[in-house]
Amino acid sequence: MYDYKKYAILFVDDEEKALKYFKKAFENEFRVLTALSVKEAEKIIENEDGKIGIVITDQRMPGETGVDLLGRIRRLKPNIIRMLTTAYSDLDSAIESVNSGAIFKYIVKPWDLRDLRGCLMRGMEFFLIQEERDILLREKFSMLERLIVMDRVRSLAVLVAGLGHHIRNPMTALKTFLDLIPKKLSDELSHARDLKNPEFWDDFWTLAARESEHILKIIDNVGEAVVQPSDYFSGPYGLNELISEGVSWVKDKSSMTGGSIFVDISGDMPPFLADERMLKRFFLNILRGMMTINPLGMNITLKAVEKTRVWGTEGIRIWITEDGPAWTDTQTESLFTPFSITVGNLQDPGLDLLAAFFIIHHHSGDIQVHRISPFGPGFEILLPFNPEAAQHPSMDEDYLKKIMMHSETWDEMRGGL
């Protein structure tokens, strides 16, 4: 049922014979790593990041003790199962460590191999259950996020339909009337001096014409932001082909405002299955949104060289970043929020980025915002090569029961350690 070699056990002891004895006793059941000191153990944990399930250490070693090591692991890698081996003379420190939460279990020397094997198996099972529970919860939150985004985009589509029907036609008639005002005034009055306050009427007409144009422009922007996904993915398409429209737009914009765009794409990248029109629009919207946030002299980098797993299938990690100052909290909060009061202009990045957010999730991908270096300011995008191969968790009753089952099992195992 459990793969006990999926994650390693790190054993720490300053006696080399003890390390060899431990490895020989348990290497058939577990993947065993060893270290002669706290410093060496910390280096192994850093190099094996995310690949260690249990750290078991002797208490008495030259320099720092085993409790010192496990205390730091608790702060930096709290999911790792921490065990302490100690002689009877050190029981007080072991019990104190258990009570403070620094360790899950202490094993008294000399070991009983059968009991120690049982402790290691229970510890690894606890770690695996904990990892699976966390994965399920992350998937649950991701699916809820996707549902929320889809609901927001559908609501936006309803809004667009209402705006188009109830506002555009009256506004078009009003704009036509305003366009006729200067000529009508000229026909009615032969000289401007016949008006008691000609400046007022001139300002009134200018303001009314500008604001009507403003409202029509907002309606157009909302209409452009609404996406209509297709029911199938075609292709294959190269990434250079999918980003070409957005890259060209940035180059044209940068020729007037300054700045540049640098593209670094791996030469051996597989092609993508995609809704071509939508994915091209995704990259265009992301780049337009970035240029709106910081329009002057921006140098953008689009980098795609790292393959990764996305919802259980092969994909790519794409970074789109700029070299300007960190985005402020206000700028970050306005992302993906249409008509944010923090924007104050027609080039509302929230509309473009909300559409981009929906498009990438329609392609079974993900997008995250990084407002400061070293990963920002900009976006981190995960995109599968084949969206149809993505393995999304179900949000039905069975899925929710599975989450609860793993949570209950996790609690039971925690109490039994």
Query: Beta 378-384 vs 313-322: how paired, if at all?
Result: antiparallel
CA distances from 59 to 9, 24, 33, 36 (A): 17, 21, 18, 12
Inside any domain, residue 152: no
Among 225, 259, 274, identify where a domain stops.
225
Number of H helices, E strands in the chain: 12, 12
Are residue 234 and residue 369 in the same domain, yes or no? yes
Chosen domain end from 196, 225, 254: 225
200 and 289 belong to one structural domain: no
Query: What value, to the nearest 5°, has the Cα angle with vertex 40 and ends 36 and 42?
Result: 130
- Same structural domain, 206 and 249: no
Contact 117, 26 (CB under 8 A): yes
Check whether 335 has a pLDDT greater than 90.
no
Q: Tell me the torsion sign for CA atoms 405, 406, 410, 416.
A: positive
Query: pLDDT for 193-228, tens place per residue?
Result: 556 666 766 777 777 777 777 676 666 656 555 556
Helix, strand, coil share (%) of the chain residues, nearest 5: 55, 20, 25
In a domain? residue 400: no
Domain assignment of residue 148, yes or no: no
In a domain, 33, yes or no: yes
Q: Could you tell me if 264 and 373 lie in one domain?
A: yes
Q: Is residue 133 part of a domain?
A: no
CB count, 10 Å around CB of 390?
Answer: 15
Average pLDDT over residues 152-174: 65
Residues 233 and 191 occupy one common structural domain: no
Residues 331 and 182 in one domain: no
pLDDT score for 159: 64
Residue 312 sits in the same domain as residue 325: yes
pLDDT in tens, 117-142: 888 998 888 888 888 877 777 666 66
pLDDT band at 60 (very low <50, low <70, confident <90, very high): confident
Q: How far apart are the C-alpha atoms of 398 and 400, rounded to whole Å?
A: 5
How sure is the predictor about 342, in pLDDT bands with cuts at 50, 70 and 90?
very low
Residue with the bigger pLDDT between 199 and 67: it is 67
- Considering the domain architecture, whether residues 253 and 381 belong to the same structural domain is answered as yes
Residue 89 has pLDDT above 80, yes or no: no
Q: Which of 64-78, 172-186, 337-351 has the lowest mean pLDDT?
A: 337-351
The parent domain of residue 283 ranges over 229-389
**C-alpha separations of 285 from 120, 327, 352 in Å:** 51, 18, 5
Write down the pLDDT at residue 285.
85
Do 244 and 338 belong together in one domain? yes
More confident of the two residues 405 and 286: 286
Of the candidates 316, 310, 331, the one whose C-alpha atom is nearest the C-alpha of residue 376 is: 331
Query: Residue 353 has what pLDDT?
Result: 73
Confidence class of residue 338 from pLDDT cuts 50, 70 and 90?
A: low
Locate 294 and state its tokens. 């910081």
How many domains, in total, are found in the chain? 3
Give domain status of residue 281, yes or no: yes
Domain shared by 182 and 209, yes or no: yes
Ranges 63-67, 113-117, 366-370: which has the least confidence: 63-67
- Going by C-beta distance under 8 Å and a sequence separation of 6 or more, which residues neighbour residue 109? 85, 86, 87, 88
**Residue 18 near residue 61 (C-beta atoms within 8 A):** no
Range with lowest mean pLDDT among 95-109, 275-289, 339-353, 363-377: 339-353
Q: In the structure, what pLDDT confidence band is assigned to residue 343 with cuts at 50, 70 and 90? A: very low
Q: How high is the pLDDT of residue 316?
A: 94
Q: Which two tokens stand for residue 178?
A: 């305003």
User: Confidence band (pLDDT; 50, 70, 90) for 346?
Assistant: very low
Which pLDDT does position 290 carry in this prediction? Answer: 80
Position 239 scores a pLDDT of: 93
Q: What is the pLDDT of residues 31-59, one digit of tens each?
A: 999 999 889 999 999 888 888 999 998 88
Per-residue confidence band for 10, with pLDDT thresholds at 50, 70 and 90:
very high
Please report the pLDDT score of residue 110 as a whole number.
Answer: 81
Identify the CATH number of the domain in which residue 357 sits: 3.30.565.10
End of a domain among 111, 133, 150? 111
Examine residue 414 and state whether it is found in any structural domain, yes or no: no
- What does the pLDDT average to over 139-151? 65
Q: What is the pLDDT averaged over residues 296-319?
A: 88
- Answer yes or no: is 410 within a domain: no
> Do 287 and 187 share a structural domain?
no
pLDDT above 70 covers a percentage of the chain that reads 65
Q: Are residues 51 and 164 in the same domain?
A: no
The CATH number linked to 103 is 3.40.50.2300
